[in-house]
Structure formats: structure tokens, C-alpha cells
Chain A
């Protein structure tokens, strides 16, 4: 299919028009989100199975997590979801500078999330609240409870995979900052920003479940 001179530079040759290109991107993105839901789904199933087997252990092990840091991370991630949405809103309104500011804020908030997570993880590494056979914490509040290492296996797997998504999201947002600043993304073509936005909101959405499931039991 050939294009006349009026077809925009961002239209790839294998698409009929801009609308088809946009809708294809969006359909592909949601197919990817579906695979993401199922990836995390396996871990959610593991959580439900083990929590039903060890209800008392989950409540006791949960008390070893820091609710304040979890809530702070929730606030950070929801705010970053807002700034991501506003970055798209700004570019739709042809306000490139505001869009850049919002993207940079999103990047900083993502970094903050990982920083807080690092503080939590390093404390757990220090005291030995680790997954599986690496578990060694036998403090007075947990020593009488059976198998808390299972709670920490699931905790580290789920928050670790989520943290990996945050890190990947940071990389993608970093690229968006570059592409927007360079002028490759603008009010007529911002599909990558919208797609990465959907990814970023999914990261937020998963944390919305992880937070009560790990930090707010009982």
C-alpha cells in the first residue's frame, strides 16, 4: 500500500491509515495486559492456596511488614499514576512542557517507590526474613508459628515481580521523556505514551491488591 505525500511520517507503511495503526497498537497492548494478568494470576493463586492452608501463620508473618512504608508506597504509586495520566492529557492539549514535567515527576515517583522497597528489602535481608530455605528469623513473635518462610517466599516473589515491572516502567518512561523532548511525540502522535501509560496503570492496579493482601491482613 502506498501513501500520498499527505500521509504523516509516523504512519508505518503496513497500516492503511492512522486510525488503523492506533487501534492495532491498542488491541496489541491489551492482549499484552491479558498475559500480564495471567502471569501475576499464578502468584495470586499461590497466595490464596497457601493463605487458606496457613491462615494463622499469614496473620502473624504479616505483622513483620511495615504498614507505614506500604501505605507510603501506595500513595507514591497512585500519585505517579495520576502524573502519567496528566502527561497524556497535557500532550493532547498541545502542552509539551507540562507533559515533560509530568513524565519526569512520574519517573521520580517510580524511583521513590523502588527506594522505599529497597529499604524494606534490606531490613528483611538483615534480620533473615527471607524466602524458602534462606529464612532464618526466629524472633519471639514468630518462633512458635509454623512455616513463616512460605509467607516470605510469596511476598518476595510477588513484590519482586511487581518491582521488576516498576523498574521496566522507569526505563520506558525515561524513553518517553527523551522522545517527547526531541519532538517525536506530539499532540498528533502520542500512541507510545498512551500504551506505556496503560502499562503503568496496570502496575498501579496490581499494587492496589498487593498492599492489602500483604500489609493489612487481620
Chain B
């Protein structure tokens, strides 16, 4: 009555993990090379390769009943539909009437009341010197 589970060999797990770590290094390295619009494409290709390895080997989909792989791929297909139809709206706003596109590119109003800060987030006065602790507000 004991059904046979597939036991993945240890060497497979170690090889996959090593490949994933290697690809993580590659994706960081390639992000410092300026390839213009190709940067994001390459980053997503590497991420998808890694995700495929995780799904097939760590999540065992390669050996499981293919209905499970189908469920997983279906979820990604529906995500694709979700994304495509949303982008069909958001990417083409303003195509007919350019005024419609304008509000989303405006600077949010609350930035007008924000003081400039240094790299530690402390307010900087107009002369460029910062005085974090002795701010008037603290008295």
C-alpha cells in the first residue's frame, strides 16, 4: 500500500542551489553594465530561469503529476491576462486626449511643504548646513 515517492538525488539539489547562487551573482554583475532597455529584459530572463529551476526541482513539479504544473502555469497565465489588460488602459491614456495623461505626471502636492534634507533625512536650511538635533520644533 506504500506508494513510491520519487526521491530526488542529493547531487541534484546541490547543483540547483549552486546554479541559483551563481545566477544571483550574474544578475547583480550584469545590472552594473549599461545595456539600456536590455537591462530589465536580461534581469527578468535570469529571474525567470531561477524561478523555473525552483519550481521544477525544489517544488518537485518536474516529477509530479502534470496537473500540478498546469495549475501553476495557469496562475501565471491569468497574471499575464491581468497585466496585459491593465496596461492596455494605463499605457494608452492620453492617446486620444493628452490632457488625461497629465495629472499622473504631476509632482504630488505634499512635496511643496517638505524641507530639503541631507542624506540622513535631516532638514537642511537654505545655506546648506544641517542642524539635526537643535531644530526649533523640539523646544
- Chain A positions near chain B (C-beta within 8 angstroms): 6, 17-19, 22-23, 26-27, 30-31, 33-34, 37-38, 41-42, 44-45, 48-49, 52-53, 67, 71, 74-75, 78-79, 81-82, 84-86, 89, 92-93, 126-129, 133, 136-141, 143, 146-147, 149, 188, 194, 197-198, 201-202, 204-205, 208-209, 211-213, 216-218
Contacts and interface: CB of A to CB of B under 8 A. Distances in A.
Contacts of A201: 54-55, 58-59
Contacts, number: 168
A89 to B, nearest CB: 6
Nearest to A36: B75
A78 B117 contact: no
A206 to B, nearest CB: 9
A212 B31 contact: yes
Given A41-B82, A45-B83, A202-B59, A212 B20 contact: no
A81 B17 contact: yes
20 contacts: A22-B3, A27-B68, A34-B74, A37-B72, A82-B17, A84-B58, A89-B13, A92-B7, A127-B117, A127-B119, A139-B118, A141-B119, A146-B106, A197-B58, A201-B59, A205-B54, A208-B47, A208-B51, A213-B43, A216-B28
Interface in B23-57: 24, 27-28, 31, 39-40, 43-44, 46-47, 50-51, 54-55
A38 B77 CA distance: 10
Contact of A146 (B43, B71, B107): B107
B126 interface: no
Contacts of B50: 208
Contact of B1 (A18, A126, A202): A18
A141 B65 CA distance: 52
Given A17-B1, A147-B107, A38 B117 contact: no
Contacts of B116: 138, 140, 143
Nearest to B107: A146
| Secondary structure of the B contact surface, majority rule | helix
Interface of B: 1-3, 5, 7-8, 10, 13-14, 16-17, 20-21, 24, 27-28, 31, 39-40, 43-44, 46-47, 50-51, 54-55, 58-60, 64-65, 67-68, 71-72, 74-76, 78-79, 82-83, 86-87, 90-91, 104-108, 110-111, 114-121
Which of A75, A188, A201 is most buried by chain B, counting CB atoms within 10 A of its CB? A201
A17 B2 CA distance: 10
Contacts of A129: 121
Contacts of B43: 212-213, 216
B13 A85 contact: yes
